[in-house]
Structures are given as structure tokens and as C-alpha cells.
Chains A and B, each alone.
Chain A
Amino acid sequence: MKNLKYIFALLVFSCSLGFAQQTPAPAQTEAFTIVGATAHIGNGEVVENCIITVEDGKITACVDGTKSRIAHIGKVINAEGQHVYPGFIAPNSTLGLQEIGAVRATNDTREIGSMNPHIRSLIAYNAESKIVESMRPNGVLIAQATPRGGWISGTSSIVQLDAWNWEDAAIKADDGIHMNWPNTFTRGRWWLGEPPGMRPNKNYAKNVGEIQMFIAESKAYLNGGKATMNLQYEAMKGLFDGTQKLYVRASSEQAIRDAIDFCSENGISDVVIVGGYEAHKVSDLLKAKNIPVLAQRVHRTPNSDDDDYDYPYKLAKILVDKGVLVGLENSGGMERANARNLPFQAGTVVAQGLDKEEALKLITSNTAKILGVDDRLGTLEVGKDATLFISKGDALDMRTNILSHAFISGRAISLESHQTTLWKRYNKKINGN
């Protein structure tokens, strides 16, 4: 197996010489079968000795090899002792929208203005980002490229992470609109002589009112004759006809409750809470209204000195236990480079008592459902895209998250990157191997 991996790696390595980025894999032409692996389906089930067949980019079979005998078709990949997972999904991400944190010229994450539903991340998504290719060796194969800033940040798209350009990267273009719910607290602006620290936001109602007015104007525009084209209002259409989701970033209990009421009152039915630091206090309402949560970064410190030290580690577990549909998101400092640690964030929740397969759902099937791409992604079920990978061991633990193969829609993608290139070059120079 090890040799195979090396041959594979060398092959890709030699192909990529002279290019900064890896070459996207061509479309699947030949069927293949993965045999002998432990398959983590992504819906909570584990299948030992699994046989998975892939044809035309889709999973055509996934069975327990000890129970059912099916024919191996095409190339056979013997993955005995290894594990197969559905590709991990990084929602609410700026992958591909900025390359170097401190270099402004590379920043395409936030537009000016506060109401930007018309701003589309997809066309700025850099399929050739060095950061994007560094996701794949860790099993992160799908992302939701999401703009930032303002009250309404813009429209996201769901992309696969092995593409020539944004068009062939797109899995679902313009899937949803992202909103930042006004903060219930504001930071004292010391340079204006305000005391430092956080204080209740006096303008909360005013801020909410601004968004309310924008929604009302959008509706009025859409109901009217549209005598003059208004790009912002026009872009809100999908929220009202149910074709787009609204992702609302809200952290406190009050903000979450207000945001949910706001959406109900405005006839916005498909809502996702993003962040949701206090979502567990609203779990009954979330459940009743079928509102899922993209729980904020697991690896962060609690908001308050008084909070449990492990609160961010266990938020997702608490929500799962309460019956809320939860996925993990990773926005925050250095979010792009760090997105490859998504599996280990799921692993950290396991340390808080969540079942491993449940934790896996937080970055696979749950997220696919939340993003509305569960018809194609999120599990190893028949009919789904063959977007999956083989790992030598448990992919939620960094010691054993070591990939031998990865596929996006059946395409055998490169597991090399700018980083592995440098590794090989310098390991040879320094250590002679």
C-alpha cells in the first residue's frame, strides 16, 4: 500500500513540476471499486469490509462485503485496514476569496456597503488557490465560498475543491444569502472617548429596523412593476420564493430569538443560524421550526470568563443532544488555512462525549442537509456523488488522518500541494530522503 501511495504521489509530483498548483483531475472515464475498507457512511452507520463501486462520478454500490457479494467493477482499490469517508464540507468559508491574510491585494472577502445581497462570491472564487489545494490531503473536499461584511454580506456558492475555474468548481451556485444579525453588545470606541469594554448596543433596534426596511423595500420592489432595475432588491428574490437559504450569523440568545421571529414575520422560511454561541438556550424553538445551526469554530476560547473552559468544544454536542440539526463552521482568525483542521474540530467534540459517527455527521451529512446539497453529497449512499476519500486510519484524529486516495465526483484528485512539493524538495536537501 505504501509503495502504491508513493508511486501515485510521484506521478502527480512529476506532472505538477513547473506549475504552482496541482492539475485538476480529468472526469472519471473508468469505473472503480474500493474493497476491504471500513466505510463511515456519514449518516451514523459504519460498514466493515465495505465494497464501494463508482461509475460516472456516482456511487453505484456500497455494501458490507461480508454479507453481500457484488461484482468488483473496473479498477480495484484494495483499502483493507483503511477507512473511507464522504468528503468533508467546510460551510461559511472564505476559501478562495483571499490568499494572504496581510496582503490587501489578495483580499476579495468583503465589499463595502451594508446591504449586499447582489454581491456573489462565486465569480471571485480562486480555484487555483494554494490554500484550497492544501485542504484535500485532510479530506476537506467541498466548501461554501461565502462573502463577509455588512448587514447582508452577499450570496454564497458551494464549490468542490479541485477545479480549473469557478464554473467547473460550482456545485450549487448562489445557494444562499448571508446576513449578520446586529450585535446586542458594542465595543467602546476609546478614540472617541468612550470607555473601553463591551456595552449594550443602544442602536440595536435601529439596526434591526434598517434591515427590516430593506426587506420591506425588496418585497415592494419585487411585487411592483420593476420599472427601474434595482440589483440589491432583485437579489433578494430567492429568499421569498424559497429557492435560496438565509444564513443568519447570530450569537446571543436574544439575537437568535429575534432573528428567528424576524424571518417568520418576513416570510423567509429557509433559515440557518450561523455561530449560535447560545443556541442551546433556544434549542426548543430551533427544533420546532426546523432551523439548523452551523455551530461556530470548536477551537476557540469561551466568550466569558465564567463559561466552562470546554464550552466551545461541546456546543455542537449539546445541540445534537437536544435534537437540533448541527454542522460545524470555522469562520474567524486564519480561517482559510485552518479549514483543513475541520475533521479535528469534529474529533474534539467526540472528546466531549459525542459518538464518533455523530461527530462525523457534523462535517458531512448534516452540513450537506443544511446547505441543501444532500441529494449529491454528505454520505456514501448509492446515487450520491463519489466525493469521498480513503484514509489510513481514523480521519477525525490527526495521527491517522493520512489519505491515500481522494475523489471528487469519481475523479481521482491530487493529494499533493505546494506544501508537499516543498516538503519533498527540502527533505531531500536536508535529510537526504
Chain B
Amino acid sequence: MIKKYLIITLFLGSFSIFAQEHFPKNDGVKSTNTNYTAFTNARIFVTPSQIIEKGTLLIQDGKVVSTGASVNIPANAVVIDVSGKSIYPSFIDLYSGFGVEKPKRQSGQGRSPQYDASREGFYWNDHIMPEQNAIDHFKYDDKKASELRKAGFGVVNTHMHDGIIRGTGSLIALTDAGGDAARVIDANSAQYVSFSKSVKSRQSYPGSIMGSMAILRQVSLDADWYAKGGSKVTDRSLEAYNANKNLVQIAEAGSRANAMRFDKVGDEIGVRYVILGGGDEYERINDIKSTGATYIIPLDFPKAYDVDNSFLANTLELESMLEWNQRPTNPKVLAENNVRFALTPHKLKKPGELKSNLMKAIKYGLDETKALEALTTVPAAVLGKSSELGSLKKGAYANFLITSGDIFDSKTTLHENWVKGNRNIIESMDVKDIRGDYSMNIGNTAYELSISGKPSKPSAKVKSGDNELGSKISYSNDWVNLTIKTADSTKNEYLRLVSKVGPSDNLSGKVIYPNGNESSFMATKKPKEDKSSGGMGNGKNNGNGKEPRVIPVSYPNGAYGFYELPKQETILFTNATVWTNEAEGILENTDVLIKNGKIAAIGNDLSSTGAKVIDATGKHVTSGIIDEHSHIAASSINEGGHNSSAEVSIEDVIDPEDVDIYRNLAGGVTSMQILHGSANPIGGRSAIIKLKWGESAQNILNKNAKKFIKFALGENVKQSNWQSFGRFPQTRMGVEQLYIDYFSRAKAYDAQKKSGKPYRKDIEMEVLAEILNKERFISCHSYVQSEINMLMKVAEKFNFNINTFTHILEGYKVADKMKDHGVGGSTFSDWWAYKFEVNDAIPYNAAIMHNAGVVTAINSDSGEMSRRLNHEAAKSVKYGGVSEEDAWKFVTLNPAKLLHIDDRVGSLKVGKDADVVLWNGHPLSIYSKPERTIIEGVTYFEIERDKQLRETIKRDRNKLITMMLEEKNKGMKTQPVKKKDKRMFDCETLDINH
């Protein structure tokens, strides 16, 4: 009873804690409370690793005064004995949207795109909003606050989840009492960024992740320039950006691939981002570790898929099943690799799901101390508020949890969540736990009563003999009322029992019979059966005690991934037909030795100790196929938001896990240029890659390659085939002027830069200046002769050459002019008729260009066709009578020349990279296929190993399906089967980026 009044007292008292001394008071006397509150006999987690058994926590005025085993309790202290309970610092969420409503998407789908900003006085791009402050939109939400407190949170860092640069977030204490004056700990606690555009604006740019990365870089440069007084006008966005510079910068990556991208941008602009992860970090933990960043990790582990329907199960991909199986290990892997991370309920439907997911992570090996740190000390440190938050050290806010026991035990009850010294009761400690089994006699009948459920909201089961009787129990203010339906089912009659809960474990009181008579009863509590013996070693109840079965991670982590990456080998092919692509031509009965990743020797009777000898009798050995024009292995292709996007780079968005890499290896492809699309006259920069399946995005880039950029001409850049009429240029006439405009500006920019005078650094201009300075080469999407001719003339005007006209289809009409200009032609073998501008495309194009002396290649622009480019090359034998040897060069040496990588690849020559393919027959024959594809001496594809990988996929799929069936049978929730909608990119693929 005393305790109950104490609660009320504390509530009253709490108001005075938040009374503000500089505010006038007209409704009474000013009441100041300087009393202390002491919690005694608790197990106190001062920090996750500093634990005091039977300690005292002393708080006053919303803060911790002291914590310890023997604390001097002042006389004016209210003492609360919490023996048997544990006290933890409450949790902190760094990635919250609490109290800040997300804006609604601007409607207007299908209208012509918007290219200009909607705002005035701010940055030129609507999606850059550093001037946005969460606090201006903040409205305390007591319902959500209560949910969060129930999940253990005391403080959240909230922000507006909208835009690329989202402005500042605010640090909010989740206390109902005291108003925002008490709640707002820091109005500008961090700045948030993402790659996703604002839903408030329809401005097109950026339309891709690479565009978002580019604009983050440019904003940083512009802000520096602005700070130095470079601008003549006011830009409130840049002013805010500069003002926010010293705040913690939190980046919404949402996946490990984007985390690497933020890390890269951050390194370039001098920002160390705290990164919201995606839960997939374990897949390439070394890369994640190498960023040195702190992560915020969501705990939204995927549910098992519902695989009851075998047809549907069949469509489920291994990659998705592995996510379900492996993701619970993510926090453990991060912890074991010493990656600093905080945990967040972000992405969970309700914060209440945090505990079960956290327990799952612990079951999958996450250390409990690390788990607690990730919710307390780590987020506090990220915010630079370690002395105020995340611990119960002296001076910290009195933000703590009182629990019935170990916080990570499913049986543990969270009793109270104190925020800034304000008490919030979740499950009262004073409610006596009446759960258990009882026996009683009423009249002549014996009854068995069993009470379970929540201590404050129990449920009851009553049995008489073998009959279960209907019953209802209520428990409040120490009174238990129990209604039992009588055994006679023909009548609606009830026994009503009333009992006061007292010190005794038994329940006793009166029973009221259906006829109104009353008598007394006594329900005797049975002693508890010890169920813990034989359970988990630590006696903790974590659900299923079985060790989780986790499939090991492969590289990439899905179909055809390697558990262990293949290694460089010394390989000797003997007695092969060797296509050298050199003066030696095609050599019969010849050996090829590969060593240290290079072609070591070509000749007869070669030998090398320790070499893997492969009998290639009847087989052909060639250099690897090179595709000048591909769009596989990239997570976006077009940045069409502007008519020039020289500032973006495909290198930023390489996806090394695209299965098309593997499929292309199986087609003998070893190198590719991954080109930007053709949405605009000046596209983005290329990535030249080697198809090193299993390696990271950085490692598949060909670091020796020169720099390239995509240009485009014709219908796509004019936006002829879809409803867009507002972007310049809309005609080929405009395209010429656009180039002249950009190159004139780039020339002036470069001159200014070289003069040493101050200038505004502009990434787009930097890239265009590289072209003028012959440091970057153009590969231009082109179809009709007029525009091909035009671009050569524009280039000549600015004193440089176009490097390549890619998938050029009317090259045959101007091959003489191309030869004079010195540009190469990379073409489709026989594509045509898909649009008006390719109506004069002919399959003889390659032959005519080649015969005119133009360096000619055949490219794909298709992840499907690239894997049989040998077929496409062979078509030049049919169409135009090109010799087989020359036709083969169309897909090997010639594209290598066009990409300026022919010093390393493109032919079999001693000293060149060992990018080699073993074919089971003539490489131009429709009947041949690669048996082995090697890059730098590493065998990335081998036809026998492929068979084994197929078996592994089958085995793992069935193992996982069985496990998911078990999961469903255990009663766990499942999700419906879904399948990735893989899009094959080509030039014209526009990203959908919201």
C-alpha cells in the first residue's frame, strides 16, 4: 500500500522536476523539489560491462547522482527497494522518424518530367535540403512514445525521412511530462543524408544512385566555394550545409553495397558517415570493416517463406532463402569483426518486435554485452553524448529500465522505464505475480485452477475432473474476481469468486453461488515444477534450444557463388589450336603456359613444374572475349535527369553479384566496358571491368584502364519515343549546339583553372576538360550518318578525336570519314528495325568498316547476347566475307584497342594478362562452347566445376526449403514467396529511383 501512494507522489513530484525557473507561475506557489530518489538492492548495469550487484542508484532532478554498491543515501531521499530487479540504461535509437510526419508523394505520374527546381533562394536541386530541421516539424506523439518506452527506449534521434540531404535531426527524450522543453535534448543533433530523392518534388535529377552520389560531391564543393564568398547570391541550402558541417552525419545506406558507396563519397568530401546498414553486412564483412565507419543496424530479419506450394517454392531463388537463413547472424559477425554498430528498430513494423529479434541475434551468436552496448553506449557515443546518455554514471540523465531479470530473457518483464527522472510504469512491480496452478474445493467439488499470461493481465483455466469449465479472471487493485461456469451445461449458471491478494501465495475469499448464497473458499497454490533443468546451459529461456543451422556465406552469396574464391594457378595447355591474334596467326598443335597471371610462353613441348596440365587436343585456346558495350553488373545505368551527366560514373554503381557476370564467363567473356545509357547527349563515365566473379565491386574494376565516357546521339537523346517535350535538345540540330555549348564552357573552365585564378570546382566541367585534354575518351551511341559526321566535326573543332562510335549502325555510310578522323566503330552484328533510325542498319556494316581500315568491333548492349559474342563475330564471315581470323578480332583484339587495354589483353602474347578461354571446338562455330575461362591466371569458369555448383545449388535449395517447412510447422510466421524482377539493362533503361 505504501508503495502505491509513493507512485502517485512521484508523479506529482515529477512535474516539479520539469518546472522552469524563469517561467512565471500564476496558479499557485512555486514548488521546488530537491529530494532524491534511491533505488536499492538492484543489479545495476552502469554500463553494459560495468555491473553492480545489489547496488544503489541515486537520482535527483532527472539525473544520476551516483551509482554504486554503497551509496550514501541522503535524508531527503525516497527509497525504493527493488531487490531482485535489474536496472539498465534505457535504449537510444539513432534512426527514428518519431513525431516527424513523412511528407506525401507529389502526384502527377505520367506528366512531362520536371527539370528545374521548384524553390527559390535555395540550392538548384529540390532534393538538397540541409536547411530542413526536423524540430520545425516535430509534434510529440504520446502513443508512439509509449510504444517505444515499452520496447525499452528512452531517447530517439528523429529526422525527416525525405530527400537526399535531409537537414538536421533532433534528439528527443520520450517523456510525456514536461513538454518539449523537457523532451528536446538537442534540436540539431545530426545531419541526415540518403541516396533517395524527396517525395515533395518531381524534379528529375538525380534519377539514379550514381546521380545522388555525384550531387553529394558537388554540394560539398559548392558549399566550400560559397563559404569562401564565391557566390554573388544567397543560397540558404549551402548556408545551412556549412552550418551543419560539424554535426554527426548519418547516411541512409540500407544495404552493404550502398554503405560502400557512402564510404567512397565520404572519403572524397571529407565526411565520416555513420551508416544505416541493411542487415547484409556479413556477406562481405571485410569490406565493411575496411570502411572504419560506425553502423546503425536494423534487426528486420526476414521471415521464412511459405513454401507449402511446391510450384511457388520452385521460383524462390537461393539468394532470398539464404537471406532468411543467414541474416540473424549479421550482428554477431559485425561484433566479432570489431565493427562498431548501434542497433535500431527502424524497419520493424513495431518497436515491440525489437526484443524477439534481438534474442534471435543472440541465439545466433551475438554477445549480450555487445547487444546492450549497441543500444546504449554506442549510440550515445555516436551523438557525442556519452556523459549524458547510454550509461548510469554520475551526471547522466536518469534514463533507465527496471526489469524483473536479465533483459535478454524472454520471461523477463520490463517493469518501468524512467526518462529524465520521470517514472513510466510498463508492468507494475507491485502487482503480485499470482500466476501458477491452484487447487480448491467448492462445495463438494474439487477444481483445478491455472493462471497464466501477463502478471497484471492474467488469464485462467479451470478444470473439474476432466471437464474444462468456462472461466474469466480479472485482477486489479489487489482484488481477483473469478467467474466459473458450472458443470451443468444445460444451464447458464456461474460461480463467482472474490479474493484479495495478500502476503500468502494462496487465494482465499468468498464464493457466491448461482442462488445468491455465499461461502468462503481457499485455493492452494501448488509448488512450481522445476522446468529449467535440462534446458539451456545458462538456464535462460530463448525459445528453441537447438543450435541454428546456418549455410556458410559464398562469394557472391547466392547461386554459383564460391565458398572459397578460386586462386591464381600455373596452367599449361598442351596441343591446342591457338588463336594468337598476333602476327603468328592461328597455331596448330601448340602449347600455352600461364604463370603468375600472365601468358608465360607459347610454343611446342613446353613444361613447367607444378603446372596444371590440360590436354587441349582437338580444342582451341583463345584470348578472352571483350565486349565494348555492356550494361550488366550495374545497379543503375542512366542518369537522364539532365541533358549532360558527365559528373556521374558507372564505377560508383558496379554490382559484382549480378549472375550475368557468371553467365558471360560461361560464354568466354573476360572484359567489358560497362557504359552509361543513352538518355542524354553527354552521358556518364564508364567502368571497364574484368569478370572476376566473386570479387568485390572495387576488385572487378580494371584499374589499369584509361578513362571513358558515354555520349549519345539520335532518337534517345531527343526523347523521340516517349512523352517528353521539355528538355533540350529535341532535334539533331540541337544536339550539335549542346555539344558546342558544353565544350566551349569546359574550355573556358579549364583555362580559368590553369590560370591559377579562383574558380568554382565543377565535376561535370572537370570531366569534359579531361576530354579536351585527351585524358578521357568518348564512346558514342550512334546510328545515322548525319550525326556521326557532326560529332566528328565538333570534336575536330575542339581539337580532339572521338574514340569510338559504339553500336554504330550506319558506320558503313561514312567509314571513309571515320578512317580519316581516326575513330573506331563498334557495332551490332545484325540488329535493326527496332526504331526508325535503324531502318538502314545492315549486317554488312562491320565488313565495310573493317575493309575501309576502321578498327572494328562487334558489341552486345545485351547481357544475353554478350555471352555468345563469338556467334555475333562469326556473322561477319557470312555478311561480307570477313576472314575468320579478322572476325575473331572483332570481339577480342579490336575492342581491346578501342578500350586502350590492348597492351594487356586482346591477344595471346607472352607478357600479356592470362585472360584465356579454352573452347571445345572452333571458337566461331555455333557448335562450340567454352570449357574454361581464365582471368589473370584464375579460373573463374570451368564446365566441370559448373556441374558441381549446380549440385550445390540443388542441395542448398532443398535443405533450406526443408528448414522453412519446419519453421512453418513450428507455428512461426511466414511470408509469401516472391521473386526478384530482374531487368536486363540496355542503353534505354531508365532507373526508377524515388
The answer to whether A419 and B318 touch across the interface, beta carbons within 8 angstroms, is no
The answer to whether B864 and A198 touch across the interface, beta carbons within 8 angstroms, is no
With contact pairs A100-B835, A102-B835, A431-B851 given, residues A402 and B878 touching in the complex (Cβ less than 8 Å): yes
Residue B852, interface by CB 8 Å: yes
Residue B925, interface by CB 8 Å: yes
Among A302, A304, A400, A427, point to the contact of B315 (Cβ < 8 A): A304
**Per-residue contact bits, chain A 250-273, to B (CB 8 Å; 1 contact, 0 not):** 001110000000000000000000
The answer to whether A100 and B877 touch across the interface, beta carbons within 8 angstroms, is no
When chains A and B are docked, how far (Å) is the Cα of A305 from the Cα of B715?
33
Whole-angstrom distance between the Cβ of B970 and the nearest chain A Cβ: 23
When chains A and B are docked, how far (Å) is the Cα of A400 from the Cα of B881?
10
Residue B5, interface by CB 8 Å: no
When chains A and B are docked, how far (Å) is the Cα of A398 from the Cα of B832?
18
Residue B980, interface by CB 8 Å: yes
8 A Cβ contacts from A213-254 to B? 252-254
Among A130, A299, A341, A402, point to the contact of B830 (Cβ < 8 A): A341
B319 closest partner in A (C-beta): A305
The answer to whether A199 and B978 touch across the interface, beta carbons within 8 angstroms, is yes
The answer to whether B312 and A334 touch across the interface, beta carbons within 8 angstroms, is no
When chains A and B are docked, how far (Å) is the Cα of A429 from the Cα of B924?
30
Binds A, one of B336-344, B387-395, B743-751, B808-816: B808-816
The answer to whether A351 and B833 touch across the interface, beta carbons within 8 angstroms, is no
Interface centre among A334, A344, A398, A423, by most B CB within 10 Å? A398
The answer to whether B992 and A344 touch across the interface, beta carbons within 8 angstroms, is no
**Per-residue contact bits, chain A 289-322, to B (CB 8 Å; 1 contact, 0 not):** 0000000000111101110111000000000000
Binds A, one of B187-195, B371-379, B659-667: B659-667
The answer to whether A398 and B812 touch across the interface, beta carbons within 8 angstroms, is no
**Per-residue contact bits, chain A 390-433, to B (CB 8 Å; 1 contact, 0 not):** 00000011111110000000000000000110110011011100
Residue B844, interface by CB 8 Å: yes
Residue A175, interface by CB 8 Å: no
With contact pairs A200-B977, A301-B660, A305-B317 given, residues A398 and B871 touching in the complex (Cβ less than 8 Å): yes
Residue A336, interface by CB 8 Å: yes
Residue B246, interface by CB 8 Å: no
Residue A164, interface by CB 8 Å: no
B residues within 8 A CB of A128?
Answer: none
Residue A101, interface by CB 8 Å: yes
Residue B781, interface by CB 8 Å: no
The answer to whether A103 and B835 touch across the interface, beta carbons within 8 angstroms, is yes
With contact pairs A184-B311, A398-B877, A419-B844 given, residues A308 and B871 touching in the complex (Cβ less than 8 Å): no
8 A Cβ contacts from A331-361 to B? 334, 336-337, 340-341, 344, 347-348, 350-351
8 A Cβ contacts from B824-845 to A? 830-836, 839-840, 842-844
When chains A and B are docked, how far (Å) is the Cα of A348 from the Cα of B925?
10
When chains A and B are docked, how far (Å) is the Cα of A185 from the Cα of B312?
9
Interface centre among B831, B977, B979, by most A CB within 10 Å? B979
The answer to whether A399 and B865 touch across the interface, beta carbons within 8 angstroms, is no
The answer to whether A334 and B834 touch across the interface, beta carbons within 8 angstroms, is yes
Is the contact region of chain B dominated by helix, strand, or loop, or is it mixed? loop
The answer to whether A198 and B981 touch across the interface, beta carbons within 8 angstroms, is yes
Residue A188, interface by CB 8 Å: yes
A residues within 8 A CB of B614?
Answer: none
With contact pairs A305-B318, A399-B925, A431-B848 given, residues A103 and B311 touching in the complex (Cβ less than 8 Å): no
When chains A and B are docked, how far (Å) is the Cα of A281 from the Cα of B245?
61
A190 closest partner in B (C-beta): B992
The answer to whether B864 and A100 touch across the interface, beta carbons within 8 angstroms, is no
Residue B369, interface by CB 8 Å: no
The answer to whether B926 and A305 touch across the interface, beta carbons within 8 angstroms, is no
Residue A381, interface by CB 8 Å: no
The answer to whether A252 and B311 touch across the interface, beta carbons within 8 angstroms, is yes
Residue B676, interface by CB 8 Å: no
A residues within 8 A CB of B109?
Answer: 191
The answer to whether A306 and B981 touch across the interface, beta carbons within 8 angstroms, is no
The answer to whether B981 and A188 touch across the interface, beta carbons within 8 angstroms, is yes
The answer to whether B666 and A427 touch across the interface, beta carbons within 8 angstroms, is no
8 A Cβ contacts from B796-825 to A? 812-813, 815-816
A334 closest partner in B (C-beta): B834
The answer to whether B979 and A185 touch across the interface, beta carbons within 8 angstroms, is yes
Residue B514, interface by CB 8 Å: no
Among B844, B847, B924, point to the contact of A399 (Cβ < 8 A): B924
B residues within 8 A CB of A99?
Answer: 833
B residues within 8 A CB of A103?
Answer: 835-836
When chains A and B are docked, how far (Å) is the Cα of A340 from the Cα of B831?
11
B residues within 8 A CB of A102?
Answer: 715, 720-721, 834-836
With contact pairs A398-B926, A399-B925 given, residues A197 and B978 touching in the complex (Cβ less than 8 Å): yes
Among B832, B835, B925, point to the contact of A397 (Cβ < 8 A): B925
Residue A131, interface by CB 8 Å: yes
Residue A187, interface by CB 8 Å: yes
The answer to whether A253 and B884 touch across the interface, beta carbons within 8 angstroms, is no
Whole-angstrom distance between the Cβ of A153 and the nearest chain B Cβ: 21
The answer to whether A399 and B877 touch across the interface, beta carbons within 8 angstroms, is yes
When chains A and B are docked, how far (Å) is the Cα of A187 from the Cα of B982?
11
Whole-angstrom distance between the Cβ of A323 and the nearest chain B Cβ: 23
When chains A and B are docked, how far (Å) is the Cα of A324 from the Cα of B847?
41
A residues within 8 A CB of B992?
Answer: 190
Whole-angstrom distance between the Cβ of B821 and the nearest chain A Cβ: 14
When chains A and B are docked, how far (Å) is the Cα of A288 from the Cα of B834?
41
Among A200, A306, A348, A420, point to the contact of B976 (Cβ < 8 A): A200
Residue A196, interface by CB 8 Å: yes
Which 5 residue pairs spanning A and B have beta carbons closest together?
Answer: A347-B926, A102-B835, A101-B834, A198-B979, A423-B844
Report B's interface with A, CB cutoff 8 A: 109, 309, 311-312, 314-315, 317-319, 558-560, 659-660, 662-663, 666, 715, 720-721, 812-813, 815-816, 830-836, 839-840, 842-844, 847-848, 851-852, 863-865, 867-868, 871, 874-875, 877-880, 884, 924-929, 946, 950, 953, 957, 976-982, 984, 992
10 A-B residue pairs with CB within 8 Å: A103-B835, A197-B978, A200-B312, A301-B863, A305-B982, A337-B833, A398-B877, A399-B877, A402-B878, A426-B812
Q: Give 7 new A-B contacts, CB below 8 A, not counting A305-B980, A306-B317, A337-B833.
A: A100-B833, A102-B721, A102-B835, A198-B979, A304-B979, A350-B926, A430-B815
